[in-house]
A and B are shown apart, each in its own frame.
Chain A
Amino acid sequence: MQVDWTIYSTFIGAALVMLLPRESKTLIRWVSLLTGVISLWIGLTAYFEYNTWIHAGNAGFWHIKDLAWIPSLGAKYHLAVDGINLPLIILNGFVCVTGVLFSWNIEERVKEFFAFYLTLIAGVYGVFMAMDIFLLFVFYELAIIPKYFIIAMWGSTRKEYGAMKLVLYSFLGSALVFVGVLALVYGAGGKTFDILELAKNPLSPDLQRWIFPLLFVGFAVLAGMWPFHTWAPTGHVAAPTAASMLLAGVVMKLGSYACLRAGMLVCPAGFEEWKWWVAWIAVIGIVYGAAVALVQKDFKFIIGYSSVSHMGFVILGLATLNLRGMSGAILQMFSHGIIASLLFAVVGRMVYDRTHTRQLDELGGLRKVMPFAFWTFVIGGAASMGLPGFSGFVAEINILIGAFAMSPWLALGAGLSIAITAAYILNALHKVFFAEEEHAGSGGHGHGHGGTGESRWHLPPITLPEIIASVILMALLVIIGLYPSIMLDMISANVELFLKGLPQ
């Protein structure tokens, strides 16, 4: 089965969920899980096939579908995969499956939840595979609306505000992209929307100079680039767990991926001109996100701002425009997708759903009550800090090497944030999972009795779906960390092509 079936299978899954009676909640969950597993399976099959092909010394695109769609306009239904988007496709599959598992406890309006959820997933698959800029834009906007409903219906803190903010930011970003796409296509004669065709005949540098920022900034809004990041923390915090996982894990990658594919590829000269701006803004974002995370009092806001910081690494890596930096950036997209999903799962599902608070001051001593959550957070946090042996290290070290080649100052700025990251992760770890004695005797906050020797928390145990999902994500972090070539080889082979000029 071709890899484009990831899109169709999730759409079919969403439609199926819509048709099921709303009372049969368990069935709906199982159908969603099965849909996720099928799409992941399709993605993985393609991934390993492509991996073998790469190791045989090849590189380039596999064109999955290239059909005329709207000839009157010049838009095509063109899907293709290569070493750059395949890791993201399987990332989407993993996040989808684990997200369903972490949402197993949703009881209210289950049917609508999973229908919107799977639609969003399908849109994301589409963006990752689209090779026609119109098609990419269609999938990109398709992914906006489900986010609104998922957050506004099932979210928590200031959910309607967070949802609307997120949607309007995304829509404003895509408005910039819209203008950019029209100018790009009709500046080039208006014959085609195909990204590879457009890349073959680039516009004059004068046009690229102002079209590139439109495309890049428009997409970077969704990647959480500073100073357009403010939707990200509020949106992540307001969202229910599975949606935070999707937002930080996958949707932010839509932005950075599209920057690469639909921004840098079609406007190389424009990028060349703006790359120092992009790099420095990325560094500001990295340091700013980490610094703000350090002073947060809300557990989920910490992870939200850390996403802004880590996505800054992705943009910095892309801006370096060298093999190490860009390969690192793409690996970072995958790695951060997994890390963010894992951390949001700990915060949202394991901690918040049980304790009903996310304030660091109110939490504490959870290590004894939920050792599993503790260890999950330790592993996720270690990967987030960039500890060797985890995927975060491989990605960030490559980005830093690439940035160093561009300018040592960039690498210095970005490197600084790694220390801050360690500080806020350890701080959160301490306050949430240790720090029990500070609360002992204070009477708790209506949660416990504060007696000595026994924990003040009486929480439901971690469920099996949560354990399975966490183990999958943790395993991925370790596998990529110990054996990075399983992903890095195909990425670098294609980045090399990209840098040489046109990938074919």
Chain B
Amino acid sequence: MTPVPYCSIFTALTPVLILVIGAFVALTLDIVRLRRSTMTVRNRTLGMVSILALLGAAVALTRQFGLPGPVTLLGQTLVVNHLTSLFNLVIVGLTILTIVISMEGDVGRHVGEYYATLLFGSIGMLLLVSTEELITIFVALELTSICLYILTAFHKGALRSQEAAVKYFMFGAISSAFLLFGLSYVYGITGTTNIREIAAQTTSSTLLSVGLLFTVVGFGFKVAVVPFHLWAPDAYEGAPTPVAAFIATGSKVASFFVLVKLLFIGFAGMQGTAFCYKFSSGWTMLLASTGAASMILGNVVAITQRNIKRLLAYSSIAHAGYVFIGFVAATEFGATSVLFYVIVYALTNLGAFGVLAALANRAGGDDMEHFAGMARRAPFLSVLMLIFFLSLAGIPPLGGFFGKFYLFAAAVQSESTKFGLLWLVILGIAMSAVSLYYYLIVLKHFYIIDGKDKSRIQTPVYLNTALAAVAVAVVLLGLFPEQVLALLKGLVAQL
């Protein structure tokens, strides 16, 4: 009997443990000590506690890079390797930023519960990233989703927030049912819940295809691609802005990551083709068609939006479509491009939501009109918004441009004799030209149209600094993507 590597197990589990402790500390502290304090004090103190817990988790995660090799616990239930540690770090970072945004905003009366739920949600994401087992994937996904449903409803007084939460919950529950149904078929055919063992099964059967189909549908809901996107605009608009940011970034990163694992490892043999001259059944075909539909619908509908959060929801639908192009490439290049893009996209979107959250309270709402003339009222945050929105539109030298270029390059490269995937790339490029229009409309309100109110808006320094750091990261990822890219490439190759 081999000795149990307790030390490695401990290293692998510490981040999650720290977050659990942090969440309980936040809850108890709120009940025991802070009930009588003002809202601002409660909000700031508990925010700081949560950030401390997350920083602790981040330190623990960096220590995982020192592990000799991948650590596997309980038969692939938890697999910790460098790639998962890296993505856990990304998620922890996104959660920290979400909390920084929340500390200034209005999160309702239940401050302790808010931060605890946020931390539990991020625990779900961490587990989702580091598992290779179907049941754990499902459980982690549910942990995340339920926390997000609750968070969406946190504006207790606002009807819109309640409506959004119910809608989000209904769609989420259905998607979970689809996912569970699909996973049960997969288990039924292959007799295993382990991703790598599923890949080893050579039997191909119609039932397995059904399982694959329902699994993809389930994830389609989670990442909001057409035709499973209907919850997104309402949820984004109704949820408190920091929560919308968290839904749009953290949960997307985790879902896309696990989808990469599931499809590129588990269903590696069932990719099929989506070339313009040859469609054959498999997940590339599924993703190509839903991705194409998302790019078209997301971008076109976004044009008519007046509410910026809703506009960002449609834009995120479109961006999920772009990401699917990287999946369709079905190569290591493609997987790298997906992971790179997801990181860039999450940072950019979080920044955009952060600026919105910082300004919306003082601007009086989050319709475009409320932000008219913002460049004079809050020049610094307006510059940051410029960077984030241009990155979303894919303008160099920002991260969004390079990420998109890399996705499209992966798709073209995967079949370059007859350019089978060029149709999808052409669609993606044409649609990003459309997207520039509505991003510019928002920026036009910030920079060109004059607003009635001309008073300066003061935002706290820590918030400005955090958002500026995100903007710098977005610029650097566009100017010098090589370091991150080479790292991801190496890690994907070992996957």
29 contacts between A and B (CB under 8 A): A70-B402, A71-B482, A72-B481, A72-B482, A72-B485, A72-B486, A72-B489, A73-B485, A138-B396, A144-B395, A145-B395, A149-B447, A152-B444, A152-B448, A160-B448, A164-B437, A164-B440, A168-B436, A171-B433, A171-B436, A175-B429, A175-B432, A178-B405, A179-B422, A179-B429, A182-B409, A186-B413, A187-B419, A190-B416
State whether A190 touches B413 (Cβ < 8 A): yes
Interface 1/0s, chain A 97-138, versus B by CB < 8 A?
Answer: 000000000000000100000000000000000000010011
Out of B397, B436, B485, B486, which one reaches A138, CB within 8 Å? B397
Chain A residues with CB under 8 Å of B440's CB are 148, 164, 167
Q: Is B401 an interface residue (CB 8 A)?
A: yes
Q: Given the known A-B contacts A164-B440, A167-B440, A175-B433, are A183 and B412 also in contact in the complex, defined by CB atoms under 8 Å? A: yes
A69, A175, A189: residue with the most chain B Cβ atoms closer than 10 Å: A175
Q: Which of B390, B422, B436 contacts A183 (CB 8 A)?
A: B422
Residues in B lying within 8 Å of A, measured CB to CB? 375, 390, 395-397, 401-402, 405-406, 408-409, 412-413, 416, 419, 422, 425-426, 429-430, 432-433, 436-437, 440, 444, 447-448, 481-482, 485-486, 489
A residues adjacent to B (C-beta < 8 A): 69-73, 112, 134, 137-139, 141-142, 144-145, 148-149, 152-153, 160, 164, 167-168, 171-172, 175, 178-179, 182-183, 185-187, 189-190
Q: Chain B: which residue is nearest A173 at the CB level?
A: B433
The 6 closest A-B pairs by CB, nearest first: A138-B396, A186-B416, A182-B412, A72-B485, A186-B412, A175-B429
C-alpha spacing A138/B426, complex, angstroms: 18
Asked whether B408 lies within 8 Å of A178 as measured between CB atoms, the reply is yes
In Å, the complex CA distance between A71 and B437 comes to 32
For B412, list chain A residues within 8 Å (CB): 182-183, 186
What residue in chain A is nearest B448 (Cβ atoms)?
Answer: A152
Closest to A151 in B: B448
Contact status A153-B447, CB under 8 Å: yes
CA A178 – CA B486 in complex, angstroms? 23
Question: In the complex, are the beta carbons of B429 and A141 less than 8 A apart?
Answer: no
Report the nearest B residue to A210, measured CB to CB: B419
A179 to B409, CA, bound (A): 10
What residues of chain A lie closer than 8 Å to B430, measured between beta carbons? 175
Bound together, the chains give a CA A302 to CA B339 distance in angstroms of 51
CB within 8 Å: A-B pair count:
84
Cα A194 to Cα B448 with chains together (Å): 39
Chain B residues contacting A187 (CB-CB under 8 Å) are: 416, 419
Bound-state CA distance A70–B481 (Å) is 7
Give the secondary structure class of A's interface. Answer: helix
User: Told that A142-B396, A183-B422, A186-B409 touch, could you supply 5 new A-B pairs with CB distance under 8 A?
Assistant: A70-B482, A139-B396, A145-B395, A178-B429, A185-B409
Report how far A72 CA is from B395 CA in the complex, Å: 20
Which residue on A lies nearest to B404, using beta carbons?
A: A178
**Which of chain A's residues have a CB closer than 8 A to the CB of B485?**
70, 72-73
Whether B425 pairs with A69 at a CB distance below 8 angstroms is no
Q: Considering only CB atoms, which chain B residue lies closest to A169 in the complex?
A: B433
- Please state if A168 and B448 are interface contacts (CB–CB under 8 Å): no
CB distance from B444 to the nearest CB of A (A): 7
Which residues from A are CB-within-8-Å of B397? 138, 142
**Complex alpha-carbon distance, A134 and B401, angstroms:** 12
Is B408 a contact partner of A153 (Cβ separation < 8 A)? no
A318 to B150 CA separation, bound complex (whole angstroms): 64
B114 to chain A, nearest CB (A): 37
Q: How far is the CB of A228 from chain B (nearest CB, A)?
A: 14
B433 CB contact (under 8 Å) in A138, A172, A190: A172
Interfacial chain B residues near A152, Cβ < 8 Å: 444, 447-448
Instruction: Please give the distance in Å from A358's CB to the nearest CB on chain B.
Output: 22
Q: What's the least CB distance linking B28 to chain A, in Å?
A: 47
Question: Which of A72, A112, A145, A149 has the most chain B CB atoms inside 10 A of its CB?
Answer: A72
The answer to whether residues A179 and B425 also contact, given A138-B397, A186-B413 and a CB cut-off of 8 A, is yes
Report Cα–Cα, A149/B396, bound state, in Å.
Answer: 16
Please judge, given known A-B contacts A71-B482, A145-B390, A152-B448, whether A182 and B436 are in contact too, CB under 8 Å.
Answer: no
Q: Cβ of B408: which chain A residues have Cβ within 8 Å of it?
A: 178, 182
Q: Judging by beta carbons under 8 Å apart, are B481 and A183 in contact?
A: no
A469 → B minimal CB distance (Å): 27
B30 to chain A, nearest CB (A): 43
CA distance A189 to B413 in the complex (A): 8
B396 near A141: Cβ-Cβ < 8 Å: yes
- Residues of chain B lying within 8 A (CB to CB) of residue A153: 447-448
Contacts of A134 in B (CB 8 A): 405
Least CB distance, B430 to chain A, in whole angstroms: 6
Whole-angstrom CA separation of A139 from B426 in the bound complex = 21
> Are the C-beta atoms of B486 and A160 separated by less than 8 Å?
no
CA distance A186 to B421 in the complex (A): 12
Q: Which residues from B are CB-within-8-Å of A148?
A: 440
A190 / chain B contacts, CB cutoff of 8 Å: 409, 413, 416
In Å, the complex CA distance between A447 and B102 comes to 58
| Residues on B with beta carbons closer than 8 Å to the beta carbon of A182 | 408-409, 412, 422, 425
Contact residues in B for A189 (Cβ distance below 8 Å): 416
- Shortest beta-carbon distance from B308 to chain A in Å: 19
* Alpha-carbon distance A183/B420, docked complex (angstroms): 11
A473 → B minimal CB distance (Å): 30
Chain A: which residue is nearest B478 at the CB level? A138
Residues of B within 8 A of A171 (CB): 433, 436
Residue of B nearest to A111 (CB): B379
Across the interface, which residues of B come within 8 angstroms of A73, CB to CB?
A: 405-406, 409, 485
What's the nearest-Cβ distance from chain B to residue A209, in Å?
Answer: 13
CA distance A175 to B429 in the complex (A): 6
Q: How far is the CA of A189 from the CA of B375 in the complex (A)?
A: 46
Shortest distance from the beta carbon of B412 to any chain A beta carbon, whole Å: 4
- Give the chain B neighbours of A70 by CB distance below 8 A: 402, 481-482, 485
B395 A141 Cβ-Cβ under 8 A: yes
Report whether B481 and A168 are in contact in the complex, using a CB–CB cutoff of 8 Å.
no
Q: List chain A residues, Cβ under 8 A from B425.
A: 179, 182
Please indicate the chain A residues that have their CB under 8 angstroms from the CB of B409 in the complex.
Answer: 73, 182, 185-186, 190
Q: How far is the CA of A24 from the CA of B489 in the complex (A)?
A: 49
Using Cβ atoms and an 8 Å threshold, which residues of chain A touch B489? 72
A142 to B412, CA, bound (A): 24
Q: Which residues of the partner chain A approach B437 to less than 8 Å between Cβ atoms? A: 164, 168
Are A168 and B401 neighbours in the complex by a CB distance under 8 Å? no
Min CB distance A169 to B, Å, is 10
B118: min CB distance to chain A, Å: 35
A164: chain B residues within 8 A (beta carbon): 437, 440
Instruction: Name A149's closest neighbour in chain B (CB-CB).
Output: B447
**Across the two chains, which residue of chain A brings its CB closest to B408?**
A182
Residue of B402, B419, B489 with highest tally of chain A CB at under 10 A? B419
B396: chain A residues within 8 A (beta carbon)? 137-139, 141-142
Minimum CB distance partner of A138 in chain B = B396
> In the assembled complex, how far is the CB of residue B391 from the closest CB belonging to chain A, in whole angstroms?
11
Among B375, B401, B405, B447, the most chain A Cβ lie within 10 Å of the Cβ of B405
Known contacts A142-B397, A178-B408, A182-B425, A168 near B433 by CB under 8 Å: yes
> B248 → chain A, closest Cβ, in Å?
24
**CB-nearest residue of chain A to B406:** A73
Bound together, the chains give a CA A172 to CA B434 distance in angstroms of 9
What CA separation (Å) do A168 and B405 show in the bound complex? 19
> Which residue among A71, A137, A168, A178 has the maximum number of chain B CB atoms within 10 Å of its CB?
A178
